[in-house]
Amino acid sequence: MTQTPDTTAPLTIALASDHAAVALKAELVAYLAQLGHAPIDLGPADDSRVDYPDYGYKLAEAVASGVARFGVALCGSGIGISIAVNRHPALRCALVSEPLSAALAREHNNANAIAMGARLTGPDMAKACLDAFLSAEFGGGRHEGRVEKLSNPAF
């Protein structure tokens, strides 16, 4: 059975991006620290060109290994890095663009990471998405079996 984390305590949250989202990542790292959480910035450190899969894989490993409870993946559109994160069977990364989708990602899919596009989502909306994601809880029930199938596909 999938467990729902205690999101009332300070959380360790890994953040990673590509070059297009370095500025948004820095803003979200500062925001999470201001809220009392423990953000882990997995890079990159500047806006020099990098490949988003490298950083998506770092984020997936940090969450899957338990180094971080949740992950925030960022690139220009959010699409590429979300695909990279979801290559790891333990990750359920949802691409979100507004608070409702961020909350539903936790409530219905027990997402342990979210992805956003820095070219599509401004800092205030990204913070609102992060707040909604972190404050939502997995609903279990009818969603439980579906979430289990995501980690154990029957191809």
- In sequence order, which residues have a C-beta less than 8 Å from that of residue 20 and are 6 or more positions away? 47, 75, 76, 118, 119
Q: How many domains does the chain have?
A: 1
Does 6 fall in a domain?
Answer: no
Say whether 88 is catalytic.
no
Which among 75, 88, 93, 129 is annotated as catalytic?
75
Please report the pLDDT score of residue 1 as a whole number: 39
Does 35 fall in a domain?
Answer: yes
Closest Cα partner for 111 from 101, 126, 97? Answer: 101
pTM above 0.85, yes or no: yes
Does 97 fall in a domain?
Answer: yes
**Residue 142 in tokens:** 């009818």
Does 128 fall in a domain?
Answer: yes
Residues in the chain predicted with pLDDT less than 70, given as ranges, are: 1-8
Please report the pLDDT score of residue 5 as a whole number: 45
β-pairing, 93-95 vs 38-41, is: unpaired
Say whether 75 is catalytic.
yes
Does 1 fall in a domain?
Answer: no
CATH number of the domain where residue 62 is located: 3.40.1400.10
Domain that holds residue 66: 12-151
